[in-house]
Amino acid sequence: MMREAMQNSGLEVFAEVGLALFVAAFLMMLVRVTFMTRHEVEHIQNLPLDDGQKN
């Protein structure tokens, strides 16, 4: 009965929109990481050890 109520409520579009947003965000992150330069990777790699002072 609960399944029928949910199916007839017309809310499945929200699940589809949520899935589409998740896939779009994942693909954007994948593209961003793919095209990072070596300098950007080294900078991000050292962030946990950075104390905020510049030399």
Rg (CA), the chain: 21
Q: How many whole angstroms separate alpha carbon 2 and alpha carbon 48?
A: 49
What kind and span of H or E run contains 32?
A: helix 12-34
Is the pLDDT assigned to residue 50 strictly greater than 60? yes
Q: Using a pLDDT cut of 90, give the percent of the chain over it.
A: 47
18 token code pair: 């949520």
Q: How many whole angstroms separate alpha carbon 36 and alpha carbon 30?
A: 10
Mean pLDDT value across residues 42-48: 87
Tally: H helices and E strands in the chain: 3, 0
Domain ranges of the chain: 2-47
